[in-house]
Amino acid sequence: MPEKKTRQRAAKKKSQSSKAGEYVREEMEHIREGKHGARNTKQAIAIGLSKARRAGVKVKSRPGVKEEKATSRKPNPKRSRASSRALKREGHSAASHSSLSRHSKTAAHKRSSSSRSASARKGARTKGAAGRSRAATKAARTRARHGS
């Protein structure tokens, strides 16, 4: 069950993907806190997206993956317990900053150059002047820290 503050933060967002991002963020926090673990970053993100879908966020599935239809069946308690116990046995490094960074880099690498460029253009367009200024300051700080 998603936390109340996550549902409130998600409700403030405009786009469905931003709403889903709040649930993924909550999942990362849970893994860092030690509530449970995840085998890898991809699994951690998948758990967050699954929570978002159950909360009613219309998240697109990957191309070629069939959409799951919602059923009125109650979840099997034995299976639920087994999956949560399995997650508790997993590690917590899936939500580390380095793992998330590595995952985003490999995900970006799989996309085409034009796709990445279009995404960056859209980001700049929807960010607004204050947002762009904040992003530029952050980028400058990162460059200074890494010495490039």
For position 67, what pLDDT does the model report?
Answer: 73
CA-nearest of 30, 13, 18 to 95 is: 30
Instruction: Give the tens place of pLDDT for each residue, 106-138.
Output: 999 999 999 999 998 988 888 889 999 999 999
**What does the DSSP assignment read for 3-69?**
-HHHHHHHHH-SSHHHHHHHHHHHHHHHHHHTS---SSHHHHHHHHHHHHHHTT--PPPPTTPPPPP
Query: What band does 2 get if pLDDT is binned at 50, 70 and 90?
Result: confident
What number is the average pLDDT over the span 72-92? 92
Nearest-angstrom CA–CA distance, 37 and 99: 13
Residue 87 scores a pLDDT above 90: yes
- The CA distance from 13 to 37, in Å, is 27
What is the per-residue pLDDT for 19?
94
Where residue 148 falls among pLDDT bands split at 50, 70, 90?
A: low
State the CB neighbour count (10 A cutoff) for residue 43. Answer: 16
Mean pLDDT of 15-40: 94
| Predicted local confidence at residue 147, as pLDDT | 76
* pTM of structure: 0.78
Domain segments of the chain: what residues? 1-60+86-110
